[in-house]
Structure 1
Amino acid sequence: MLNKIKGPTSYADLRTVDGITYDTFKEACYAMGLLDDDKEYTASIKEVHQWSTGNSCRSHFVSLITSNSLSFPDRVWKETCDLLSDDLTRQCPERLKSNDPETFKHVLHNIALARIEKEVNSAGYSLRNIPNMPFLDFEFIETSCNMLIQDEISYDIETLKTEHHTLKSTMTNEQLGVYDTIVDAVDKDKGGLFFLYGYGGNGKTFVWKTLAAAIRSRGDIVINVASSDSELAALLNKAKLIIWDEAPMMHRHCFEAFDRTLRDIIVSLNSSAPFGGKVVVFGGDFGQILPVIQRGTRAEIVHASLHSSDL
């Protein structure tokens, strides 16, 4: 700019082109024609979209950002945001879908931005640091950048519906009764605690699999096993059903601690209910190994079991 503008007396003079004072030097350079107009990069994204997926388009957009190829990433985003998000309709959680086209488009754009933010983060960048580049709402960050949640909502819905229909059609009357009871509790969204008792090989895992397929085919989350993780609280808040198999082997304090933890972290009107109002199903066989209590008496072992818990 110093080579192009003669006799500037201030920084404002440097940012003034054809009588218009721009907010940044970069915008002034763009107005003077010193920077590329990004048309070729916009065209490249459109070309990728013709033969590949929205995910490939987003990866291409990220590579352009991280290589500093774009003069104005925000303008390229505005011109291509529909292409960068058009594959996310089926992956969008049911609770975020809307019958209003503009609202739903806004949701898809936010999810796309979350995917892009995740990729640029891995390269040491952030959309927050790009002037005028839109950033997403916290809820979309939580849902789309949380890989625990992404893993749970990335299932093929149609395949799960077919699997669920096949599994349910082969259930026994007893298994179907268990299934109907638990699914009804999930549908009512008021929480519930159940224990499915049975010795090894009598079909507990089959019931878990059918329940998981039923809930996931709706686009909701099922947790089959849980361990400590920094993102686990968000995942637990979104879960509709929690299945804990081989429960009799664990000390009752494990379940009671889990109950208190969920009451602390679940955000809902039923958060004071057992397990924060979530539907929880324990399973196992009390005829197998009970909690191991070192040098414990029979009474101490029974007292440590889930059967002795107030839950």
Structure 2
Amino acid sequence: MNNIEAQNYKYTDFPVYYTWNAKLHKWNRRKNATGAIGRLYMVQPIEGKRYYLRILLTHITGATSFDNLKTVNKQICRTFKEACTCLGLLQNDNEWNTCLYEASNMQIGKQLRHLFVMILLMCQTLTPEQLWNTHKLVLCEDILYNTQQLTPSQTIILNDTIENEALNQIEHYLQSNRMSLKNFPHMPILSIQNIHSNFANNNLDQLIYEKRSYDTIYLIKQHSIYNKIIQVINNECENIITLPSDITIHKGTLTNLIDFVYPDLIENSGNANYMVSKAILTPKNINVKIISNIIMRRIPGEVILYPSADLIFKNS
């Protein structure tokens, strides 16, 4: 729009003063005030480009194109995010640095990686790659420690292999939220090929292999137990389990079962506490109906059917 007056309005102000002509694809000046309110749909920070575009649209007046929207001091920024940063519309990452510094005093690597992912997903980090580079030592600390335990005679330092393992776990957390490291520009990208090449050129894989070989005898024993379990499964677990006699009733009719559970049924038929203190559990509703009918025939008096009853009341 080349209207000079319109260049004084933000994008959200347009519906107040103009109406959109869908056929001609243009804005027309309103003739009468209608009290219309302009709005933009809410966008989450994790949506990246659209989020920063929305920020610019709600702050910039007179933009005539996307490049014009990204222009700051006569320089076209590469991204909407960069334009927001140059205009001072975004805070820096100091608060997230402080958050990770404080958390590292009480939490270990795995917990810190969870926190790092939550910051990436929920917070407006300007430079996630700098956040990673600043804190990657504490984010990899437990992995580094576990690796050192495998080789107590050698000093293990932070390297690409250990960093890749931490990034692999971070990627797993992100994917569980339908995100990926690829959604965050300049963050290290994890690739399976890089992991294999790192291990191939590093002594860590050989050290792990030697450590695991110490447990060969234990693994053989476990394999023997596993084979026995598989044999039972292949036989479809056809076996008989005998229950203790003190918790079972000898096989018989439903009458015997009712006599066992309600030995003084007729004498206590009007005693609500007696009736609710006992129960017969059945696998199907049809069994419930059969047992209920047998019990009702034993209790003296007229049978009254209540369509719905959730509580037992004493007779008034």
Report the TM-score, using the length of structure 2 for normalisation.
Answer: 0.42
Higher strand share: 1
The structure whose RCO (Cα within 8 Å, separation 6+) is larger is 1
Which has the higher Rg, Structure 1 or Structure 2? 2
Report the TM-score, using the length of structure 1 for normalisation.
Answer: 0.42
